[in-house]
Chain A
């Protein structure tokens, strides 16, 4: 399924889509979006790239095995859940925030890190599943 148009387009689309997915992730706390949707968009970006350019190239582009993203994300989410216990002495998963409001992102807090963890897990899961299956097929 090699098509020059798709191949060329996908090269440009990949960074754009990734950027978009990060955007969706970050704005999730205020507008529609979030870790799940961002993660799915990012996965679709990679899968599109894989279809256009072949699995090898996408894997090379990703550098690491997508499976590694799963524990990374889980640890990030777990970490953000534990942070309040360690630093503030609050119950698990209590939201803690950096007092200043940052531009673009808004308030930064443990919830954002949690959502980022979700984002990584979703990318990891989707890519692991699709890549593994398409290698076998």
Chain B
């Protein structure tokens, strides 16, 4: 069911990761993802993987949750892996059958891609699991604040992001309700070819859109009645500040990443 996917969901807790400043976490995640795409030694992936596992252990979030996020893209992942295995021809053949042959390069390349995507999901999920959506947007807002000087609508964008995040669960619930209602009118989602199935989405998507617009309207009225206006000077209830913990974490994380790069450079 749609509800099993937990992307963007926050898991309540009080671990070190939960207490970090959102900016530290965002920057760490971004640099981690950069590192993922720059390294090309299998050992480094293993190292990166164990690093993430340690983080999950620290904040006490079960791996089952994140595996649920991986599930929906698993078919695509497996398919691309198979294509990669068949198509890549350079390197030495390890195994060959009829017109297919598996080369060591192909295996290596496939594994790398596979690990990259899995770790991408693991790390970005970890960010949202340990950071409240509100904090996340506030962090982003602070980070892109300098752009306000060139008239970039920083606050508005931050507001849009937080509203969008806030309404994901609401819309999922709404979608489930609509699916139920249409099912009881004899609607069948599962049969037919691609175009037929796409057409089948209309009875669900259309009411969902109507509902989303209605909610947007109501929200706009609610915000205006509380004197929200674009470009207004607002203070926030919680202000972000870097603490000692953030400095320690950032330095430690940087050290680990540097180490990974060094290993990557020496053991290829």
**Does A pair with B?**
no
**B interface, CB within 8 angstroms of A:** none
